[in-house]
Structure 1
């Protein structure tokens, strides 16, 4: 469950990402591209973008969470595997097709000094480092939570044993008459289920972190633009982008089985990041220069880190985990359906790169 410290961390991170570009001034001699600037018309498009992206993100992230209402959307159902494979394809395409190329473009811009930015592929380096860092966070967090749970379980079992009589202790494990199952087997199953649940919770939180980073950057870039020709195609593209990403995140949150309060916080945080980024971009339009060296470096590094996180999460925590699931492995039809869904999600998200 998300505690107050985690919520504060996400808030501080978001504030850092959104306030950093406000320090950027137009001090670069590299001339920005000529654009068809129309501030009032661009503002109308931005308002439409805030509304449509907010609604699409909220619908997308909430759709997989409707398992309690619609049984077909429960995590153990076949349809859930199909939807999650589609969303994983979207997230994978987002990292490879949308975020990483943007990072490469920023960090190889002619506005930056040739040394060191032009002499080394920093975007790939940062993405790789972020993927390795995500792996370490994944491993250590899961290990820590698992050990903590096992410690609490042992203490609880110790207390239960003190309360039970010696006669019950002497009963063989495999012949418990009143419950009809072995305590040892139940304990192992509970431990396995709890470890898997903890794993899902770590995955959902790390995935949201990766999505939030690039969502804020996208929002600021759109909000700071004054070109209707640039903004207009982005509105539709980012609306679909946010909807599909929300489906992927919503599927992970659903499997994590958070309490209602934590689910609400995570869903709201995802839904609001891009609209808030757009609003901040609108507020700093006059002082923000996207072609300045500082803006290019900050956006490039953050985008590269986000790409590494998203690619790792899509391949390792979403696709590998689901496609190696015994339920999917033993069902050829479900396996084929999930594969088609994965390719369809990746293809549709890649297609959006034409406009965004």
Structure 2
């Protein structure tokens, strides 16, 4: 599973790069006058924008690494272990951040892209493509989730499950997913439904691995897109607050992803791969945007369509993952169901995370 996941992430980055090339194929054409203000104005400065973008690359990289790695090293802090209440509250906060990222950051950007006056009124102004694509992305995420469960379940049963204890680093453990969709997201052990099931803990573990990979895919897409837009921008007035906002964004989003990776109990190699892709995609997008800034036009019709579609698809995936795979199963799991007080604390953490990330939508 580790090699398959890394290959899938590499393929996704190549796909995004090809999409960027498609954008550039038509971005050198002058946008129509109805597209609004051009790039030139009080804040237009190529040299200042380049300086800020070069500062942003290592800054965002460090913030991303800190965010995604904090949960991974939390086992050394007893209070932050996955079976403790504090970890559940922190994870709920990070899940709220991911939920707000989809609804308050990625989805509005897609609306702006696909309803831009630079696009022809027919069909872009006559049909809500953003919500349609986001809906399809959520449904297809469910389909992929279901197919993965079916495929790996059959493979797992075909190989046999005779071993009572399975090494977490073994290929068989890497290649397996659970028979039950909703088991054990709140913690790494079996849920109340799994206590009588000898394979419940292993099923929960394998399910957590699927969640971590699906979440990573959604984050990678919008991280490259926002990095590309930022790197290609020549407006220091826009970039300056965006750097700070993205640092906080990547920090908290990384905590959410890191918590999922921790519960997946991957080996050091797979943890490193997932953390590396998360931390480097936004800086990679910024560097790509800088390299293409002379020919990239964010108001070209092709750029608006490609970026808008990617944002809508990413929003649907993130919203599905946050609501179905993270929040719903945590709140319906044994740990939170066993304590009303912990439920309210976790709910407050969700509101705090979602609210904080929503406020950041003013700048990012």
TM-score, reference length from structure 1: 0.88
Question: What residue is the counterpart of 1:128 in the other structure?
Answer: 135
Aligned equivalent of 1:181? none
Judged with a 3 Å threshold, the aligned counterparts in structure 2 of structure 1 residues 218 and 281 are, in CA distance, closer, same or farther, namely same
Asked if 1:310 corresponds to 2:318, the answer is yes
Quick check: 1:198 aligned with 2:206? yes
1:22 counterpart = 2:21: yes
| Correspondence for 1:98 among 88, 99, 105 | 105
**Corresponding residue SS for 1:190:** coil
Residue 261 of structure 2 is matched in structure 1 by 253
The answer to whether structure 1 residue 265 and structure 2 residue 276 are counterparts is no
Superposed CA deviations along residues 190-227 of structure 1, whole A, max 9, x for unmatched, are 31111111111111000000000000000000000011
Contact 1:22–1:284 (CA under 8 A) maintained in structure 2: no
Counterpart in 1 of 2:119? 112
Residue in structure 2 matched with residue 225 of structure 1 by the alignment: 233
Larger displacement relative to structure 2 (132-141 or 10-19): 10-19
Higher Cα Rg: structure 1 or 2? 1
Equivalent residue number for residue 33 of structure 1? 37
Matched, 1:2 2:2: yes
Task: Structure 1 unaligned segments of length 5 or more: list them.
Answer: 158-185
What is the CA distance between 1:304 and its match in structure 2?
0.1
Describe how 1:136-285 pairs up with structure 2 within 5 A: 136-154=143-161, 189-285=197-293
Provide the secondary structure at the position in 1 that maps to 2:198.
helix
Q: Which runs of 5+ in 2 are unaligned?
A: 165-193
Separation in structure 2 between the aligned mates of residue 63 and residue 198 of structure 1, nearest angstrom: 22
Deviation per CA, 1:35-79, whole angstroms, max 9, x where unpaired? 421111111111121111101110111111113311222211111
State the shift of 1:155 in Å.
5.7
* Within-5 A mapping of 1:330-341: 330-341=338-349
Aligned twin of 1:47? 54
Q: 1:154 to 1:199 in 2, by over 3 A?
A: closer
Q: Do 2:219 and 2:318's aligned partners in 1 also have CA atoms closer than 8 Å?
A: yes
Higher helix share: 1
**Secondary structure, in 3 states, of the residue corresponding to 1:109?**
coil
CA displacement at 1:146 relative to structure 2: 2.9
Q: Choose from 81, 92, 107 the match for 1:85.
A: 92
Who is 2:12 aligned against?
Answer: 13
Contact in 2 for aligned 1:22/1:288 (Cα 8 Å):
no
Contact 1:207/1:310 (8 A) holds in 2: yes
Q: Is the 8 A contact 2:102 2:316 kept in 1?
A: yes
Aligned mate of 1:345, from 353, 359, 362: 353
Q: Which moved more, 1:262-271 or 1:328-337?
A: 328-337
Q: CA deviation at 1:148?
A: 2.6
- Aligned 8 A contact 1:253 1:263 in 2: yes
SS of corresponding position for 2:160: helix
Deviation, 1:187, is: 11
For residues 242 and 102 of structure 2, the distance between their equivalents in structure 1, rounded to whole angstroms, comes to 17
CA-based RMSD = 1.7
Whole-Å separation in 1 of the counterparts to 2:85 and 2:250: 24
Preserved CA contact (<8 Å) 2:31 2:299: no
Alignment length (residue pairs) = 327
Greater displacement, 63-72 / 92-101: 63-72
